[in-house]
Amino acid sequence: MPSQSDVAKLANVSFMTVSRVINGKGNVKEDTRIKVLKAIEELGYYPNAAARALNNNKTDGIGIIIPYAEFMTAAPYFLDLITSLEKNIDEMGYHLIFKFPSSIKSAADYSNLYMERKVDGLIVLAPSVDQWLLKRLTKDNVPSVVVYGRDDELDINYVDADNYNGIKKIVNYLLSLGHTHIGMLTGSTTLICGRDRISGYVDALKENKMQLDRQLIYYGNWEPESGIKAFNYFFNLKTPPTAIIASNDHMALGVMKEAERNGLKIPRDLSITGYNDILYSQYLTPSLTTMRQPLEKIGKLAVKLLIEAIENPDKPKEHIMMDTEFIIRESCAAPRKELNLKLKPLDPLEQPNLRVGIVYPHPEFGKSNKNI
């Protein structure tokens, strides 16, 4: 494998001249630079990344941290976001490095990725509500940007989608159709987006002077199976909901499948909405009414903020909240006045394990919802 010394010998220049050309530093005559580049191409020389990192005090690596190992299967629409992140990172001359929770033991380990010059900055995807990681990154002055999460009290960049108002739009739409008994299938409230969506549901009902019925809230885990279990829970109630809001499209798919299995027609017998507008939502029968998030724009803005933080550490941090787009399709209609349904058992040997009510892992749910 050719070395930098081999390049210098072939180009008939000094080792330092080759280094200056590779790193884009110093005054090098154009004809000399061309000779060095020609020698690099002829020899097939690839600069050592570790050596360049030492010379430039940069790795050109951006770390991305996901909340848990199964996150990509539970929320596959995030693949579109990661595609956007990777594209924009590449255009800026950096490369993407994934870090999974199984390889990290503490918040300090995340900071050490930067301290040990393994990455130049970090993208934190959908952090948990306790913010232990964000607090550590802020304390250690690690160039960072949070995507799908935030903390206005911390001095850290973030780009988030307005999930709170997104759910409020859905509630108001269903109310406009005549629904007054609306079920909420929430995702994990350990994630900020999960809390935002349940908060939007609760506050939208309050603003419309509708009484909150805790029985109409089912705690899910973002997976389609949650939709199946939620359907069975809701339709075991004395008065089932006439509409169900699922906090993501995957849970909505589970609700739709179970509704069909039990002989219900959507939207004649039950209205259903999702969230995120995954690719297949438009191809369902009926097509799914849902909320679209600007993943491409979020990825572009997140990379821009992070590169600015890397190159200019003193730049004030930015907090950006992106609007969502309500996509009205075919899965909602006016409520049916009466519905008699005898549920088909999921399994003759085992009934689903159902959890009822709102689940808040942390007591500080938020000022607007202390009394729910």
What token pair was written down for 20?
Answer: 């200056």
Domains of the chain with CATH codes: 4-56 (1.10.260.40), 61-162+295-323 (3.40.50.2300), 163-293+326-369 (3.40.50.2300)
* Per-residue pLDDT, 70: 62
* Per-residue pLDDT, 40: 86
* Per-residue pLDDT, 49: 57
| Residue pair 141/155 in contact by the 8 Å Cβ criterion | no
- 129 phi-psi bin (left φ>0, alpha ψ -120 to 50, beta other): alpha
- Structure confidence by residue, pLDDT tens digits, 303-332: 999 999 998 999 999 999 999 999 999 999
* Helical (H) or strand (E) element with 99: strand 95-99
User: Model pTM greater than 0.85?
Assistant: no
Number of other residues whose CB lies within 10 A of the CB of residue 65: 22
Q: What is the DSSP letter of 326?
A: E
* Per-residue pLDDT, 307: 92
Give the model's confidence band at 5: pLDDT under 50 very low, under 70 low, under 90 confident, else very high: confident
| Residue pair 192/127 in contact by the 8 Å Cβ criterion | yes
* Per-residue pLDDT, 71: 64
Write the DSSP assignment of 238-297 as a string of letters. SS--SEEEESSHHHHHHHHHHHHHTT--TTTT-EEE-SB--GGGGGSSSPPBEEE--HHH
| Whole-number average pLDDT of the chain | 84
- Structure confidence by residue, pLDDT tens digits, 283-297: 999 999 999 999 899
What mean pLDDT comes out for the span 330-349? 79
Count Cα atoms within 13 angstroms, Cβ side, for 163. 25
pLDDT higher than 50, residue 363: no
pLDDT higher than 60, residue 52: no
- Structure confidence by residue, pLDDT tens digits, 206-256: 999 999 999 999 999 888 999 999 999 999 999 999 999 999 999 999 999
pLDDT higher than 70, residue 264: yes
* Lowest-confidence pick of 9-13, 21-25, 188-192: 21-25
What mean pLDDT comes out for the span 51-64? 71
Write the CB contacts of 112 (distance below 8 Å, at least 6 apart in sequence).
Answer: 118
What token pair was written down for 275?
Answer: 């969230």
- 309 phi-psi bin (left φ>0, alpha ψ -120 to 50, beta other): alpha
